[in-house]
Amino acid sequence: MSTSALPTADVALAPSGRRADHTGSVAMRTVRYALLTFFLLVVLLPAYVLFVTSFKGLGDATPSRAWSLPQSWETAGWDRAWEVLSPALLRTFSMVIPASIISAMLGSMNGFVLSKWRFPGADVVFTMLLFGMFIPYQAVMIPLVQLMQDLGVPSGVPSLIVLHVVYGIPITTLIFRNYYASIPTDLVEAARVDGAGMLRTYSSIVLPISAPAFVVVLIWQFTSAWNDYLFALFFSNSRNGPVTISLNFLASGQLQDYSASMAGALIASLPTLLVYIILGRWFVGGLMAGSVKG
């Protein structure tokens, strides 16, 4: 199971065809589908609320109509949410894209070194790196604020890029390392025997076949940086920060504007949801690689 270091959903989760017929009695099957559908509805319930409430007018929010469809479908909530969130969306993209690319590059180099061009103590180094993935960032936050200030990194997008790159190293290294571990060592050894140096081997043999791992890492980093709130709270504000900050301010206003908040939640989630819908196969694959083995 853990040997396929980079399973897409199809590979990792493919039902082994031989078992598809093993379905039990009709009653069993009915119960199974009933349960699956029940859970489906439960999972979709919040999505229904988000969607429906976002189109409600201001007077349509009385408790008695909480679960009803809107009396008239209005987009005013979306307008208000867009007004608040659109500048933040742009900033979030300008933060997340460089952060994902840089940390993917670092992860790829580290993963290569730790799996295919090893040095004494590589396993210890790897374990030490991994620890960074699990620490509660609260345990470094106070000196981190000071350090970033001393380094002169401006708050907002620049700070967040640095932080997502640095604290992304462990997970990206892990995913790349597991992926590279699955490519035959012969390839690398052959290059080595031919006298190719480390960088040559990396750039001509390993990098060209790394695309699948890059996709996984980029998706992973994109989603986690996009959804981050903790760093954003400490290192940015609603005027220079990402969309999670703006969304929380929109939603925690004193006059609770449910239609705008819900529309805002949908807007803020759209990029990651799109990534998930379009690239879902690799997304799931990335999850597997990041955890089954880790």
Within 185-244, the residues that bind other proteins by CB under 8 A are 197-199, 223, 226-230, 233-240, 244
Question: Which of 78, 73, 37, 80 shows the shortest CA–CA distance to 56?
Answer: 73
Task: Report H helices in 55-184.
Answer: 76-115, 122-134, 138-151, 157-181
State the minimum distance, in angstroms, from the CB of residue 157 to other proteins.
7
The count of C-alpha atoms lying within 13 angstroms of the C-alpha of 118, restricted to the half-sphere facing its C-beta, is 15
Q: Which is nearer to other proteins, 75 or 132 (CB)?
A: 132
Q: Packing angle between helix 157-181 and helix 138-151, nearest 10 degrees?
A: 120
Listed residue (107, 110, 93, 248) closest to 161, CA to CA = 93
279 in Cβ contact with 265 (< 8 Å): no
Number of residues that make up the chain: 294
State the amino acid at position 206 in one-letter form: V
User: Considering only residues 160, 175, 264, 282, which one is a binding residue for other proteins as defined by CB under 8 A?
Assistant: 264
d(CA 81, CA 266): 10
Strand, coil or helix: 59: helix
| Total binding residues toward other proteins, as defined by CB under 8 A | 128
Which of 167, 176, 214, 220 touches other proteins by CB under 8 A? 167
137-156 positions binding other proteins, by CB under 8 A? 137-145, 147-149, 154-156
Binders of other proteins in range 53-92 (CB under 8 A): 53, 63-64, 66-67, 91
Among positions 76, 89, 207, 287, the unique one binding other proteins when judged by CB under 8 A: 287
Cβ 91 to other proteins shortest distance, Å: 8
Tokens 């819908």 label which residue? 277
Q: Which of 180, 217, 265, 282 binds other proteins (CB under 8 A)?
A: 265
Residue 269 binds other proteins (CB under 8 A): yes
- d(C-alpha 230, C-alpha 124), whole Å: 29
Write the binding mask 113 to 142 for other proteins: x where contact by CB under 8 A, - elsewhere: xx--xxxx-xxxxxxxxxxx-xxxxxxxxx
- CB-wise, 82 or 276, nearer to other proteins? 276
Minimum Å gap between C-beta 128 and other proteins is: 7
How is residue 212 annotated by DSSP? H
* Binds other proteins (CB under 8 A): choice among 5, 99, 164, 170: 170
CB of 208 to other proteins, least distance (A): 18
Neighbours of 69 (CB within 10 A): 12
Kindly identify the residues of this chain, within the stretch 2-41, that bind other proteins according to CB under 8 A: 2, 7, 9, 12-16, 18-20, 22-24, 32-33, 35-36, 39-40
Q: Report whether 180 contacts 116 (CB < 8 A).
A: yes
CB of 247 to other proteins, least distance (A): 5
